[in-house]
Structure 1
Amino acid sequence: MSSTPWPEEWIGSWIWSSRPALAGPTADRPYGAPDPERFDTRVLFRRVLHLDSAPRTARLRITADSDYRLFVNGRELGAGPIRHAPRRIEFDEYGLDGALVAGANVVAVIGRFRGYPSPWWEPSPTSFTLGGGCLAAEIAIDGTIVGTDHNWRVAAADAWAPSAPRGFLVTQPDELLDARRLDADWAQRGYDDSAWEAATVLSEHSIVGPSGRTTPGGEPWGAPRRRPVPGLVGESRHPVGFAIADGGTEAWDGSALAPARALVAALLAEAPAVPAVSPGAPGALEHPVDVPAGRHLIVLDFGAIVSGRLVLRFSAPPGTTVAASLLEAPTPAALDSAALLGYICRGADDQITSSERLGGRWLVLLVDAAAGWCLDDVAVLERLRPRKAVEPFRCDDPRIDRIYDVALRTADLSSHDAYVDCPTREQRAWTGDSVVHQSVDFAANLDWSLPRWSPRLLAQPRLDGILPMVAAGDFATPEVPTIPDWSLHWIRQVQRLHLYTGDQEAVAELLPVAENVLRWFDRFAGDDGLVADVPGWVLIDWSPVQVTGRSAALNALLARAFLDVAELADALGDHGRAGRARGRHAAIAAAFEAFWDEARGAYRDTIVGGERGASVSEHTAASAICAGIVPEHRRDAVRRLLLDRDAMFTRSPLADHGSDALGPVAGTPVSVRDAPDWDTERLTVGAQPFFRPIVHEALDLLGETDRLPDLLLDWDALLDDAPTAFRECWEGGSFCHGWSATPARDLIVFTLGIRPETPGCGRMRIAPRPGRLSRVSGAAATPFGPVQVSVDGDRVEIHSPVPFTFVDRAGRETVHHAGAATTRL
């Protein structure tokens, strides 16, 4: 791709069909109002370019609201844009070298306006003509730029049926395509588009400023910016086994997906035959699957959780109906959380690539055909953020090696254009979840574009300063209460961004957001400095940590956030802001003593009405250590509590809401937290995978880093029923969840002991703590290349591109130059 920069001002105009999803101004919406009757609509775009010869260089940039899929001469090149804030939008760039030929060339696009919020799209404000669907693109051919304008041809893509969310919690959109209404050659050269209409150029109108602008740069997004993260990559994954069962007799004509969903759910409830395939089995189905006439339920097993765009290819009679869903498990509960893809065959050239990114292990197909047919190809084109791998962690315990590998795969599957909770269900960019993904990427991925971008994407505060529970998605609306502690984990993301990159410009951009988050908490602080009765959903973790009144865990996380902000302010030389943050930290530290129960030898979780509660959790103990608010004389007691694993118990409401149990809206709401019904004098509430990084950080601070390899073996239990990715909780939850990926970080940072000593990784600190392991090796990422460490007994070999400090078991430090070194542990 040419490195020549694009012009600062766009040449290409915003275009759409003559029917955007806007109803025009109203008394209460003077800028125009969305029209739900035109939500989830698609438009086909074509532009024919005649070239005398194949160009030397060619590239294209494109953006849209809401979505686009780009084709050049019939070949799909990509889709986008990345998820974006309501008043910000990014553009994608594609190299076209070799894609254009002498003669006629066709650039074709499927544009889509969602209208309904989704987990990865949030509506933008309307501005008379914008906010109801638009597309802008520019093609640079040997230095000459051709932009979108009225010369583009458009047609309504009415082969797709509009789809609305099925509910507030289940908002992954279904997709139904009647291929009989879509010419298979519409994106090819030679297709006759003379019956199509000319594109409508959208001219900006404003009641407070200049009007008439047609190019990007005005309301509501300003100038589009180049996407800050690389394009998604991945291989094609194919099923490794299949089974066919009867498809039932309930009526479904293919015109709507709700009846198909009900029918598939009923068939899954009858325990259909499923392939007998070992998890992670190699190979794939080598031959097309021949299926007799009639209705059948086909279950295909990919042998592992996969994530990407589903591709199906058929040789089937016209009118054959297909309903497909990629599931975590072949159960009705899994179907309840997943999108459904519907397709009606045209009888020739039948292939569908899902518009949405889907995730799961089991593909369920309900197919009704009047004659025998053939399933020619099934694949998932994985679309994940690229990871430039460092040398993997390896040791003399194969269980831990496997845990490391699955943790990385779990992080990969949950990393798209943002860090998402899970690839198989929501795909929301949760504000707190991503603190784990980011830590894994900084440790194990040489490409730091996504861990740099994540805190910026999430920095979209509400008017009162706190962050929404998700970014750029349906739950970002102010109408949904937030998770207050998620904003505190976001502050840790900013701290980690500074530690690994040393990027003071990023700190200067994000520090005011962090300070306003802390000022939001100040509204609920009492005279003692502790916050109480904080509104919203104080989650902490899925375990039943008690949070009523004054929550010890929340106050400890808040204290840690004040320390983080003080450190960030010091980095900018803002000592006034740093001093205020340290003052608030000191106040919480002094008041935190009220949670201590000398008889129990532990911090209780709550104070309600002036009385300590009964419950004790490792969440409170660990976060207090990480916040630096545990007095020296109490550290031994906290250490004993964290190391007493026999006293730990966990419990998750998601055990009843997983794909192997109830669906997402059945049963007791997950926000309902169990009151203590356990022996609070003997038992300690243990952390779920999400909070375990803080537990491990606390043990590291307490000098117990050698215990971590054994503690990470807890993840081995997660592989029993989900052997290719880590589940959300010890008990249930989604079958692949990014916040469970922390072993990939911990084995590098704590067991190999590789971490930055100075911001920006200009000097590293290497303190291996292999515990009972006799051999460990691996590498950590830095901006200057990987730092490699190998331990065999007491012998340590290090290769580092930067100077480093080595710390042996006795705590003795030695300073080393960049390069290779051999020393003793």
Structure 2
Amino acid sequence: MSIPATQAWRGQWIWSARSGVGAPAPDNPMNGALDPEYYDRRVLFRRSFELDEVPDEAPFRITADSRYVLYVNGVELSRGPVRHGQRELRYDHGDAAPVLRAGHNTVAVFARFYGGRTAWWLPTPTTFTLGGGSLVAELRVGQEWIATDDSWRYREATAWTPSRPLTTISPQIPEVFDARELDPQWASPEYDDGDWDAARVVASIHVGGIGRTRPPVDPYGAVLARPIPQLTAAPQDPETVSVTTVTSLAEPDLLEPAATRLTAALRETGENRTDPDAWHPGLTIPAGDHLLVVDFGKVVSGTVRFALTAEPGTTLIGALVETPKPAALASAQTFHYTARGRADAFEAHDPSGGRYLLLIGGAATLDDLAVVERLRPRPTGPYFACSDPLLNRVHATGLRTVDLTAHDAYIDCPTREQRAWTGDSVVHQSVDLVANPDWSLARWHPVLAARPRPDGLLPMVAAGDAADPGIVSIPDWSLHWMRSVHNLYRYTGDADLVGALLPTAENVLRWFTSFLGRDGLLHDVTGWVLVDWSPVPVSATSAALNALFARALADFAEMADWLGDSGRARWAWTLHTKLAQGFEVFWDEERWAYRDQMVDGVVQPSVSEHTTAAAVCAEIVPTERHVRLRTFLLNRSPMFTRSPVAAHGSDADGAPAAAAMFAAPIPDWDTAQLVVGAQPFFRYVVHDALALLGAADRLPDLCRDWGKLLDAGPTALRETWEGGSACHGWSATPSRDLLVYVLGITPAEPGYARVRIAPRLGDLEWARGAVPTPHGLLEVRVDDLSVLVDSPVPVDLSLREDQPSISLPPGRRMVPLT
């Protein structure tokens, strides 16, 4: 049982005597000023109490600005909060009864205030008192409440050296920790906090305020419950370790970035490292400087954890990276640990990702070493299997990749940024909707991203540094977000959820309408028009962007019609019809495709599969062209791909300049003969188009393209065909398509009131799988003799494109293929 969300808070906002906010701000006397020197601060809190007996339940709730870890009697119970918008916080809840005991008990909280923006956190607009570090918590034990107030004790956590992100593109914060400055028993009931200070209760003081000390208050508003489950905590052990002597390193210096020291060690050892040995607890690091390359055997995502036996003052410097090369350290979160000489154990507070843990240290014995994966849950039940082992590996690796990039939001990669990109997430969500019974993150992420700029367009990132409305956005990412809302409509059938998002969707579309010309097309759309990492020309009048806009108009109109809003549906369809008429200017009769770009009224020769596929998905192509469009999209021989991120991070000893990476592409290829092919991300649109064109049976073969990604990294799917990050959730489209198009399982009505099953196995001998629905698991098995369906809802079974569907009632049915 949890504390009811409607119940008034008993806990008060507390913090240390020092805060990161003062009053008033020089440029705005109605707000407080955030102290630029108060960043990456950590505060420890404690509150002890006595119990005559342990209650059956002891519900708690807690949140902090910016991060916390909750311990009860030394046992970690919760960490959070989830990422959120600038003027909000989410609280976590749980039950502390299992760790309480009769007699003396202690609640302890590690609280942290980032101060500076990160990829997953933005400073809150401050009042005169709040927005510079705060904690609120409460625990019910029987009829008593243990709630944050001035009876709590605190101490500034000076064991950590405040650090800033080292780069902007990959804003990981180094963790510099001197264990000699922190008693390892600080969270236990036995610890004596008699010399700690009384916590400061923080009232929200602002213009017109009344000095409230409990939620709800400005700047956080109504503190709402966490919308997703607590993340998993599954330790992943290393497989092998190689130890190489490094002779040229100077004595460790806290002022020297750990990445610099690790880079120097990697450059000295180069490829001449010792053969790896199997990892085992008790591994000894010899005296003198040594580089340890710890291989987990797969990409892992979570918090680095270790325990060691060493003399006081011994240092251990490390980072989790994609590959043991200097370039990977440019985007890595590093740590610098100084041993206390007893009970030495460490776990990083921010997550990171990679396959290899690089360590430099003095004489020590590693008693434990792991990465604790902290991911959103994936319950069992759904599955996919077929006669092709390669496709089985592709599917499983795609699921693993989505898992690794599903934290408190869908993120691009755990290894480099951990940003919740507004457009990327449509692939993660699509995979979860067909392969994960827990749809909470699939439902939550579009809501998290629905925080538009004042002009209506969504930021390119949700709840992170690039969500700042002052930063340029990616217009087409808002259109992919629209598709994720459409997914919610189709799969969940939740009218309240979709209806709440529709106004944001409308404002996104209205932002685009200011760029419409008399021809019904978008011209000179501002911002960073990306489309894909492939070099699709996008300046001036972009056909691909227009097609994505048309698809969004159709999605919006369909959802508005479903919600009974015929006026908005009619508005969207009118724009859609006019755009379809104007789009004809891009048609190339000789190439059976749509061209990519028009400059000063002249259509340019470049052709991509992006534009044609998006046009098909947008329903702006005449039906009589379908055969030719299908032929064009299936002809892979003239298609080429390349990516500006091919050298980023793991695949070269250096990264390209930001200006070169993000500049609009200018054709330098034979535009009369070659076709720009899609990177893994945009293939979700290409595959959708082929299915609409009646070529779903070709998708098993097209999904085999992902074999090249398995060759490059068999445990996770990388960002592009040519390189990029080693683990990117937007590359997991086959894990959706093998269930959606090969087994052919899709909602026939919103919320799976009915299901359409249209298996198209292509060259596969058999396939089987199960998907989650709001009504229970739905299973399909297909071979060359029959189709077995076990469905909780009525079924429309389509065995061939040229035959009518067969209606089946709920239940288990076998239909012969004749």
Residue 216 of structure 1 pairs with residue 193 of structure 2: no
Q: Does the 8 Å contact 1:257/1:342 carry over to 2?
A: no
Q: Does the 8 Å contact 2:16/2:156 carry over to 1?
A: yes
Residue 409 of structure 1 pairs with residue 400 of structure 2: yes
1:3 Cα deviation after fit = 4.7
How far apart are the structure 2 equivalents of 1:6 and 1:408? Answer: 34
Residue 266 of structure 1 pairs with residue 257 of structure 2: no
644, 664, 684: which one aligns with 2:675: 684
Residue 253 of structure 1 pairs with residue 252 of structure 2: yes
Q: Who is 1:54 aligned against?
A: 54
Q: Does the 8 Å contact 1:566/1:581 carry over to 2?
A: yes
Deviations 1:677-725 (A, max 9, x none): 2222221100000000110010001000100000000000001121100
Seen in structure 2, the aligned counterparts of structure 1 residues 553 and 274 have a Cα distance that, compared at 3 Å, is farther
Q: Who is 2:457 aligned against?
A: 466
Q: Does the 8 Å contact 2:44/2:156 carry over to 1?
A: yes
Residue 360 of structure 1 pairs with residue 360 of structure 2: no
Seen in structure 2, the aligned counterparts of structure 1 residues 274 and 690 have a Cα distance that, compared at 3 Å, is farther
Q: Does the 8 Å contact 1:169/1:664 carry over to 2?
A: no
How far apart are the structure 1 equivalents of 2:296 and 2:276? Answer: 9
How far apart are the structure 2 equivalents of 1:665 and 1:602? Answer: 33
1:669 Cα deviation after fit = 2.9
506, 520, 525: which one aligns with 1:529: 520
Q: Does the 8 Å contact 2:787/2:816 carry over to 1?
A: yes
464, 476, 482: which one aligns with 1:485: 476
1:599 Cα deviation after fit = 3.1
Residue 645 of structure 1 pairs with residue 636 of structure 2: yes
Deviations 1:201-238 (A, max 9, x none): 00111212x32210010101112111010010142101
Q: Who is 2:8 aligned against?
A: 9
Q: Who is 1:814 aligned against?
A: 806
Secondary structure at the residue paired with 1:584?
helix
Q: Does the 8 Å contact 2:596/2:607 carry over to 1?
A: yes
Deviations 1:117-142 (A, max 9, x none): 11111111101110000000000112
Q: Who is 1:192 aligned against?
A: 192
1:256 Cα deviation after fit = 2.7
Seen in structure 2, the aligned counterparts of structure 1 residues 558 and 225 have a Cα distance that, compared at 3 Å, is same
Residue 583 of structure 1 pairs with residue 577 of structure 2: no
Letter aligned with residue 362 of structure 1: Y
Deviations 1:618-671 (A, max 9, x none): 000100000001112322221111010111110001112131214456476311
How far apart are the structure 2 equivalents of 1:564 and 1:212? Answer: 46
Letter aligned with residue 327 of structure 1: V
Q: Does the 8 Å contact 2:710/2:717 carry over to 1?
A: yes
Q: Does the 8 Å contact 1:176/1:257 carry over to 2?
A: no
Secondary structure at the residue paired with 2:661?
coil
Q: Who is 1:289 aligned against?
A: 283
Secondary structure at the residue paired with 1:682?
coil
Q: Does the 8 Å contact 2:793/2:810 carry over to 1?
A: yes
Residue 326 of structure 1 pairs with residue 305 of structure 2: no
How far apart are the structure 2 equivalents of 1:822 and 1:138? Answer: 55
How far apart are the structure 1 equivalents of 2:592 and 2:6? Answer: 66
How far apart are the structure 2 equivalents of 1:667 and 1:37? Answer: 28
Q: Does the 8 Å contact 2:22/2:128 carry over to 1?
A: no
How far apart are the structure 2 equivalents of 1:40 and 1:763? Answer: 52
Which aligned pairs between 1:156-175 and structure 2 lie closer than 5 A? 156-175=156-175
Structure 1 stretch displaced more, 628-637 or 468-477? 628-637
Seen in structure 2, the aligned counterparts of structure 1 residues 816 and 342 have a Cα distance that, compared at 3 Å, is same
Taking structure 2 as the reference length, the TM-score comes to: 0.98
Q: Does the 8 Å contact 1:495/1:568 carry over to 2?
A: yes
Letter aligned with residue 591 of structure 1: G
Seen in structure 2, the aligned counterparts of structure 1 residues 254 and 345 have a Cα distance that, compared at 3 Å, is farther
Residue 336 of structure 1 pairs with residue 330 of structure 2: yes
Seen in structure 2, the aligned counterparts of structure 1 residues 39 and 667 have a Cα distance that, compared at 3 Å, is closer
How far apart are the structure 2 equivalents of 1:667 and 1:553? Answer: 24
Which aligned pairs between 1:646-725 and structure 2 lie closer than 5 A? 646-664=637-655, 666=657, 669-725=660-716
Secondary structure at the residue paired with 2:138?
strand
Structure 1 stretch displaced more, 653-662 or 342-351? 653-662
Letter aligned with residue 773 of structure 1: L
Structure 1 stretch displaced more, 789-798 or 726-735? 789-798
How far apart are the structure 2 equivalents of 1:376 and 1:102? Answer: 33
Q: Does the 8 Å contact 1:468/1:475 carry over to 2?
A: yes
1:295 Cα deviation after fit = 1.1
Deviations 1:117-170 (A, max 9, x none): 111111111011100000000001124322100000001101100111213212
Secondary structure at the residue paired with 2:548?
helix
Seen in structure 2, the aligned counterparts of structure 1 residues 393 and 328 have a Cα distance that, compared at 3 Å, is same
Paired-residue identity, %:
51
Residue 443 of structure 1 pairs with residue 434 of structure 2: yes
How far apart are the structure 2 equivalents of 1:168 and 1:773? Answer: 46
Residue 744 of structure 1 pairs with residue 743 of structure 2: no
Q: Does the 8 Å contact 1:488/1:561 carry over to 2?
A: yes
Secondary structure at the residue paired with 2:260?
helix
Seen in structure 2, the aligned counterparts of structure 1 residues 71 and 629 have a Cα distance that, compared at 3 Å, is same
Q: Does the 8 Å contact 2:15/2:133 carry over to 1?
A: yes
Q: Does the 8 Å contact 1:603/1:620 carry over to 2?
A: yes
Structure 2 segments unaligned to the other structure (5+ residues): none
1:673 Cα deviation after fit = 3.8
Letter aligned with residue 148 of structure 2: T
Secondary structure at the residue paired with 1:670?
helix
Q: Does the 8 Å contact 2:780/2:788 carry over to 1?
A: yes
How far apart are the structure 2 equivalents of 1:542 and 1:24? Answer: 45
Q: Does the 8 Å contact 2:331/2:649 carry over to 1?
A: no
Seen in structure 2, the aligned counterparts of structure 1 residues 4 and 73 have a Cα distance that, compared at 3 Å, is closer
Q: Does the 8 Å contact 1:748/1:778 carry over to 2?
A: yes
Q: Who is 2:509 aligned against?
A: 518
Secondary structure at the residue paired with 1:599?
coil
593, 603, 611: which one aligns with 1:602: 593
Q: Who is 1:235 aligned against?
A: 234
Q: Who is 1:136 aligned against?
A: 136
Seen in structure 2, the aligned counterparts of structure 1 residues 275 and 735 have a Cα distance that, compared at 3 Å, is farther
Residue 180 of structure 1 pairs with residue 171 of structure 2: no
Structure 1 stretch displaced more, 342-351 or 627-636? 627-636
Q: Who is 2:411 aligned against?
A: 420
How far apart are the structure 2 equivalents of 1:425 and 1:383? Answer: 16
Seen in structure 2, the aligned counterparts of structure 1 residues 67 and 273 have a Cα distance that, compared at 3 Å, is farther
Deviations 1:777-815 (A, max 9, x none): 011110111110101113111100111110112432111
Q: Who is 1:225 aligned against?
A: 224
Structure 1 segments unaligned to the other structure (5+ residues): 279-283
How far apart are the structure 2 equivalents of 1:757 and 1:607? Answer: 38
How far apart are the structure 1 equivalents of 2:237 and 2:184? Answer: 24
Q: Does the 8 Å contact 1:241/1:301 carry over to 2?
A: yes
Q: Who is 2:294 aligned against?
A: 300
Residue 68 of structure 1 pairs with residue 71 of structure 2: no
Q: Who is 1:120 aligned against?
A: 120
Letter aligned with residue 9 of structure 2: W
1:183 Cα deviation after fit = 1.1
332, 340, 346: which one aligns with 1:346: 340
Seen in structure 2, the aligned counterparts of structure 1 residues 564 and 788 have a Cα distance that, compared at 3 Å, is same
Secondary structure at the residue paired with 2:433?
helix
How far apart are the structure 1 equivalents of 2:347 and 2:627? Answer: 58
Secondary structure at the residue paired with 2:99?
coil
1:95 Cα deviation after fit = 1.3
Residue 316 of structure 1 pairs with residue 310 of structure 2: yes
1:273 Cα deviation after fit = 5.0
1:524 Cα deviation after fit = 0.8
712, 726, 729: which one aligns with 2:720: 729
Secondary structure at the residue paired with 2:368?
strand
Secondary structure at the residue paired with 1:408?
helix
Q: Who is 1:281 aligned against?
A: none
Q: Does the 8 Å contact 1:243/1:273 carry over to 2?
A: no
Q: Does the 8 Å contact 2:384/2:739 carry over to 1?
A: yes
Q: Who is 1:21 aligned against?
A: 20
How far apart are the structure 1 equivalents of 2:222 and 2:251? Answer: 47
Structure 1 stretch displaced more, 160-169 or 129-138? 160-169
Seen in structure 2, the aligned counterparts of structure 1 residues 107 and 55 have a Cα distance that, compared at 3 Å, is same
Residue 627 of structure 1 pairs with residue 618 of structure 2: yes
